[in-house]
Amino acid sequence: MCGIVGYIGDKKAYPILIKGLSRLEYRGYDSAGIALLDEGDLKVYKKQGKVQHLVDYAESLSTEGTVGIGHTRWATHGLPNDTNAHPHSSGDSNLVLVHNGIIENYDVIKKSLAKRGHEFKTETDTEVLVHLIEEIKNNSGVSIEEAVRMALREVHGAYAIVVISKDDPDKIIAAKKSSPLVIGLGEDEYYIASDATPIVEYTKNVVYLEDEQIAIVDRHNGLRIVNISNKEISPYVQELELQIEELEKGGYDHFMLKEIYEQPRAIHDSFRGRLNASEGWISLGGLKDYEDQIANSDRIVIVACGTSWHAGLVGEYYIEELARIPVEVEYASEFRYRNPIIRQNDVVIAISQSGETADTLAALKMAKEEGATLLGIVNVVGSSISRITDAGSYTHAGPEIGVASTKAFTTQVTLLAMMAIMIGKKRGTISDTKFQNLLNEMEALPQKIEKLLESNDYIREVAEIYKDASNALFLGRGSSFPIALEGALKLKEISYIHAEGYPAAEMKHGPIALIDEEMPVFVIATSGPNYEKVVSNIQEVKARKGKIIAIVTKGDTSVKEIADHAIEIPETDDILVPILATIPFQLISYHIAVMRNCNVDQPRNLAKSVTVE
C-alpha cells in the first residue's frame, strides 16, 4: 500500500529518492520521509502530508549522501503525522527502516523489547521491527543482513522492508513477504522500489524479490540474495517493458483524465496479436496450454477486489452466456476466510490491476493448496499474481497512476470477453456467425470509444447540473448491472458523493424510497433484450420526480423523450455494451470531482495498490 524507494551508488541520492516518491505517491500520501547516509552521518527527514511537504521541509537542510531510502505512507498503525511517518529509527539511531505491510505480532514483540529497555516513540508496528533488528544485531554481534534475517524469522504478517545502517554505509538490505519489492540494476548502482515506476528512468534491468527473500545490496560487491533460511538464491534479471513517457500526464490536468482518454489505445493493445477478425481467429497465448482445462472445467471461480470484482461480475455474464460454464464471483477478502469448497477441476481466475492485491494473493494460495488451476488477469508484468498462477494474460493497459481505475477496468473486461469468446468457440457453444460478429465488434471497440469521447463536453455540462447532489443511484440490467456498481464506486471514490449501484428491477425493493426531485438516477438503457424493462424502470423513477441521466444507444428516441439527459454510445453487440457504457460514468465522476475541488488522482483515504489486509 505504501511506496518505498532506495538508492546506492555514485550519484546524489536525494533527488532520486524525491522523484521516486513522487512517482509512488499514488500508493499512499498521508506522509513522506527519507533517510540519507553521508560519510557516517545518518539524516532522517519526514513530514505529514504529500511529498511536496517533505521537499519544502528539506529545502534548507543538508541533502548530501549517495545512499538513501524513502517512503510515502498510507496509514495503518498510528495516525498520519510527522512522528508516525517513515523512516523509523532504532533506539541507538544506528539503523533506519522503511516498511510496507503489517507486522501482526508486533504487540507481543513490543512488550518483550520494552522489558529489555527499549523505548518507543511512535504508534507503528514498523518501529517495533527496527528495534527488534537492533536488539539482535547488538546482542548477537552479527552483520546487519544476518540481524534482518533473524528478525524476520520472528515476525508474522506482510512486509516489504529496506534497511540502512550507520555502521554499514555501503550496504542496503531489502526483504519482502506478500508485499512487492523490485531491485533495479544500474552501472555500479542499485535502485529499490515498491514497483518499477521510480526505476525505469535509470535502468531496464530488474530483479523481483520473491516471498521471504532478502537482498544484500553492496556498493562494492554487488547484489546477493538469500532466503529466510539463509539459502543462496541466484537473481533472475528481467527487462522492463515500461516506458518513462507513460508515467507523465502528457498535457492532461490529471492522470485520471489521461487514462480515460488512453482507453482506445489500451483496449487495442489488449487484443493486439490475440485477435484477427479478417482471418477469423482469437488466441490468448498465455492460456494456450490450459484451453482444454478451462473448457472442460466444472466451474470457474473469479476472485478479485474493488473495481476488479466488478470486472469479474461482467466476466460471469460473458463466460456463462458464451461458454456455458458455471461461474462464481467472489470478493477475495471474503473467499479466503469462509472455508470455501474448491475442487481440483475448478479454475480460479484472479483479477488485479497491480497483481499485488493482498487478499487476492491469499485467495490464490488457498486455491492452490486444494489443487485448482490458477489463472491471472493482471496489468503489471512480473507481479506476484503473475508468478503464483499457472497461466494468465496481461491486460497491457500500461501504467495506471490515478487511484480510481479506468483503463485497467475496461481492459480487464476486454480480456474476459476474449476469454469467453475463445472458450465458447472451443466448446461449440456459440455459432460461427456469432463468433465472427463478436470478433468484428471487438476490433471496432477502440474506434467506437474514440467517437464516444467526443461527447465529453456534453457530459461535463451534465456533471455541472448534479455536482452538488448528496446521493445518486445507478441502475442497470444483465451485464450492465456491474457497470451500475462501477459507476457508483467511481462517484464515491473521487467526489465523495454517496452513491449506490443496483439491478434496475431491484429498485422497487427498497431504493425507490430514496427517490425525489433532488436524486439523480443514472440508468443504462441501451437497446437489447432488456430495453423495454429498463424503460419501465425509468417511468417508475419519473413518477417519483427523480432526475434521469440515461446511457442510450445512438439513435434512440424512446428513452430520450422521458429522460432529463441522454448520453449516446455507439451501437455494438449487447455483450460488449458494458465496455462502452462505463466510459460516460468515468467522465461524469471525473468532472463532478473537479468541480467539487476534490483531489481526483489521490482521493482521501485511498491508495492504488492494496497490499495489506
- Which residues does the annotation mark as catalytic? 2, 608
Beta pairing partners, 168: 165
CA end-to-end span of the chain: 10
Q: What does the alpha-carbon distance between residue 429 and residue 555 come to, in Å, rounded to a whole number?
A: 32
What kind and span of H or E run contains 382?
none
Cα dist from 167 to 91, 412, 481, whole Å: 14, 48, 59
For residues 281 and 262, give the distance between their C-alpha atoms in angstroms, rounded to a whole number. 26
Rg of the chain's alpha carbons, rounded to an integer? 25
Spatial distance between the Cα atoms of 83 and 534, rounded to a whole number of angstroms: 54
What contacts 309, CB < 8 A, 6 or more positions away? 329, 331, 332, 351
Judge whether 495 and 593 are in contact, CB under 8 Å. Answer: yes
- Grid coordinates in use for 284? 490468448
- Alpha-helical (H) ranges within 375-431 are 384-388, 407-427
C-alpha cell at 450: 474514440
User: Cα separations (Å) of 586 from 53, 169, 405, 414?
Assistant: 30, 48, 9, 17
Three-class DSSP labels, 8-61: ECCCCHHHHHHHHHHHHHHHCCCEEEEEEEECCEEEEEEEECCHHHHHHHHCCC
Smallest CA-to-CA distance from 493 within 612, 356, 599, 582 is with 599
Q: Which alpha helices (DSSP H) does 467-576 contain, by range?
A: 481-495, 531-543, 558-562
Peptide bond into 584 cis (omega under 30): no
- Supply φ then ψ for residue 547, to 5 degrees: -95, 125
